[in-house]
Structure 1
Amino acid sequence: MKLTHLGHACLLVETPGARLLIDPGVLSDFAHVRDLDAVLVTHQHADHVDVARLGALLQANPGAVLVVDADTRPAVDGLAATVVVATPGDRLTFGGSTVDVLGDLHAAVYADVPGCTNAAYLVDDGALLHPGDSFVLPGREVDVLAVAIDGPWLKLAEAVEYVRAVGPRVAVPIHEGETTDPAKYAGMLAAFSPEGVVRRLVSGEATAL
Structure 2
Amino acid sequence: MTGMDALELTKKGHACVRLTRNGRTLVIDPGGFSEADAALGADVVLVTHEHPDHFDEGRLRTAMEANPAAEIWTLRSVADKIAGAFPGRVHTVGHGDAFEAAGFQIEVHGELHAVIHPDIPRITNVGYVVDGRVFHPGDALTVPERPVETLLLPVHAPWNKFSEVLDYVREVKPRVAYDIHDGLLNGTGIALFERQLGPGGPGTGGTEHVHLAADESVSLTR
Q: TM-score, normalised by structure 1?
A: 0.92
Letter in 1 for 2:165: A
- How many equivalent residue pairs? 208
Is the Cα–Cα contact under 8 Å of residues 156 and 189 in structure 1 kept in the other structure?
no
Partner of 1:67, secondary structure, is strand
Letter in 2 for 1:91: A
TM-aligned CA distance change 1:64 to 1:187, over 3 Å:
farther
**Aligned-partner Cα distance in 2 for 1:36–1:172:** 21
Specify which of 18, 27, 30 is matched with residue 21 of structure 1: 27
**Aligned-partner Cα distance in 2 for 1:130–1:39:** 13
Is the Cα–Cα contact under 8 Å of residues 35 and 63 in structure 1 kept in the other structure?
no
TM-aligned CA distance change 1:196 to 1:92, over 3 Å:
closer
Equivalent in the alignment of 1:36: 42
Partner of 2:169, secondary structure, is helix
Offset, 1:189: 2.6
TM-aligned CA distance change 1:32 to 1:149, over 3 Å:
closer
**Aligned-partner Cα distance in 2 for 1:79–1:198:** 40
Equivalent in the alignment of 1:98: 105
TM-aligned CA distance change 1:32 to 1:142, over 3 Å:
closer
Offset, 1:196: 5.6
**Aligned-partner Cα distance in 1 for 2:138–2:38:** 22
Which structure has the greater CA radius of gyration?
2
RMSD: 1.8
Specify which of 173, 177, 190 is matched with residue 183 of structure 2: 177
Gaps of 5+ in 2: 1-6
**Residues 134-166 of structure 1: per-residue CA shift (max 9 Å, x gap):** 111112211100010111000011111111000
**Aligned-partner Cα distance in 2 for 1:89–1:33:** 25
**Aligned-partner Cα distance in 2 for 1:79–1:154:** 35
TM-aligned CA distance change 1:183 to 1:51, over 3 Å:
farther
Q: TM-score, normalised by structure 2?
A: 0.87
